[in-house]
Structure 1
Amino acid sequence: MSAVDYPVSLAVEDFVPVLLTTGGVVLLRRLVAPGWGVAVAAVLIGLGGGTKATAKLVAALGGPDLPWLRSLLFPLLTLGFGLLCLELARLRAGTVPAWLGYLVPGLTVVCAVSAVLARDPLPMLVSTTVFATLTGIWLITLARARGDTVAAALFGLQLLGFFVLGPLAARPDQTVTLQWIEQLSNTAAQAAFLIAAWRLTATARTEEMIR
C-alpha cells in the first residue's frame, strides 16, 4: 500500500466492519457443540481486521507507517476462517471431511511459505479467500436447510462482498476515495453477515425451545 494521508474518520470507520464480522462469528458459536473453536476463530478474525485498522489509525494520527502490522491481516484471517470452516463442516456433517482436514493445514502452509519467499503477505489472500468461501457455502447451506432464505441471501451477499472487496483492498494504489467506497461497502456486507448470523442462531434457539 502506498503512503496515504488518511483522514481520522476513515481510519476509525475501518473498525466498524471488523466489529460486525467478529460479532457475527461470536453468534455462530451458539450453533456448535461446546468448545472453543468458533470463539478462537472470532478472536483471530477480529485481530486480523483490527491490525490493519490500527495501522491505518496510527498513520491518520500522524504516526509512522507500520507495514508489519498491516501484513498480519491475511495470515490472521487465514487462520480464523480456516478454523471456522472446520467447525462449521463438523456441525453439518458430524465430523470434519477428510479432504477438508488436509486442505486447511496444507493450503495454509503452502501460502505461508509462498508469502515468506515472496516477502509479501499477499499469497495468503488465496488461502483466506478459499476458507472464507467454504465458510460462506456452509452457512448458506445451513440457512437453506433451516428454511431461512433471508439469512441464506444475506450470507451470499457477504460472500460476494468478500470476493469483490478482498482483491480491491490488496491493491497498492489505494486512494482515500477508493478506500471510503471499499470500507462503506464492506460495512454493509458485514452488517448483512451479522444479521444473517443472528437470524440463524435465533432459529436454532427456537427449535431447541420447541423440543
Structure 2
Amino acid sequence: MSAIVYPVPLAVEDFAPVLLTIGGVLFLGRILTPARAVCAAALIGAGGLAKATAKLIAAGGGPDLPWLRGMLFPLLSLGFGLLCLALGRHRHGETPRWLLLLVPGLTVLCGLGAILAADPITMLVSTTVFATIAGVHLIEVSRMRGDTVTAALFGGQLLVFFILGPLASRPDQTVALQWVEQVCNTAAQAAFLVAAWRLSHAPAAAAADPDKELIR
C-alpha cells in the first residue's frame, strides 16, 4: 500500500489533542503529587508529539519516519501507567498492591511482545488498560466529590478513547478517516481538560465526612 500524503492542516491539527491532554494531566497535579503529574504529562505528551511531528514532516514533503511514529504507544503506556499509580495512591492513601504488580508487569509483557513482533502496536494493549484504569479512578474521585458533570466529562473522554484506539491502529488510514478521528479526539481531550480543571479547582466535598475523605 502506498503511503498516505497528509495535508498540512491535518498534520497541524494533530498537535491540538496532545496539548489539551498535557494541560489536563498537569491540572491533575493539584490533587496528585506534582512531580508525578509532570512526569506523566511529559511521557504522554512526548508520545503524542512524536506521532504529530512525524505526520507534519511527511505532510511537508519529508520522509516517512516509522521509528518516530512508533514512539506513540510505548510512551503513552508509560505515561498512563504512571498516572494510574498516582491516582491509585490518591484514592487509597497508598498505591494498591495489584497496581504495583499490574503496571510494570503488563508494561514489560507488552514491551517484549512489541520487540518480538517488531511492531510497537502491541503496546496499545497496555496503553488501553492503563488509560481505562486512570479514567475509572478519575470518574470515581469526581463522584465522591459529588460532581456528576466532571464525572460525565471524564466518562465521555474515556468512551471516545475506546472507540478511537482500534481505529487509529488500522493500517488503512484514509485522510477522511483521520480527520474524523482527530476532530473527535480533540473534542474528547478538550472534555478531559475541562474535567481536570474542574476537579483540580473544586473543593473536596467529601472532606466534611471523615468516612469519605480523600487521602492525598
- State the TM bucket, normalised to the shorter chain: over 0.9
- The answer as to 2:13 corresponding to 1:13 is yes
Alignment deviations for residues 128-149 of structure 1 (CA, whole Å, 9 cap, x no partner)? 0000000000000000000110
The Cα of 1:3 is off from its aligned counterpart by: 1.2
The Cα of 1:204 is off from its aligned counterpart by: 3.7
Aligned residue type for 2:119? D
CA RMSD of aligned residues (A): 1.5
Aligned residue type for 2:121? L
Identity %: 67
1:33-112 aligned within 5 A = 33=33, 35-112=34-111
- Could you say which residue in structure 1 is the equivalent of 2:214? none
CA contact (8 A) 1:31 1:204 kept: no
CA contact (8 A) 1:21 1:46 kept: yes
TM-score by length of 1: 0.95
Q: Determine helix, strand or coil for the equivalent of 2:198.
A: helix
1:1-211 aligned within 5 A = 3-33=3-33, 35-204=34-203
Give every structure 1 segment of 4 or more consecutive aligned residues whose post-TM-superposition deviation is greater than 6 Å: 205-208
Name structure 2 gaps, 5 residues minimum: 208-216
- CA spacing shift, 1:104–1:50, aligned 2, 3 Å: same
The Cα of 1:2 is off from its aligned counterpart by: 5.7
Q: How many residues align?
A: 207
Alignment deviations for residues 140-159 of structure 1 (CA, whole Å, 9 cap, x no partner)? 00000001100000000110
Name structure 1 gaps, 5 residues minimum: none
CA contact (8 A) 2:46 2:75 kept: yes
The Cα of 1:32 is off from its aligned counterpart by: 1.6
Q: How far, CA to CA, are the matches of 1:112 and 1:207 in structure 2? A: 39
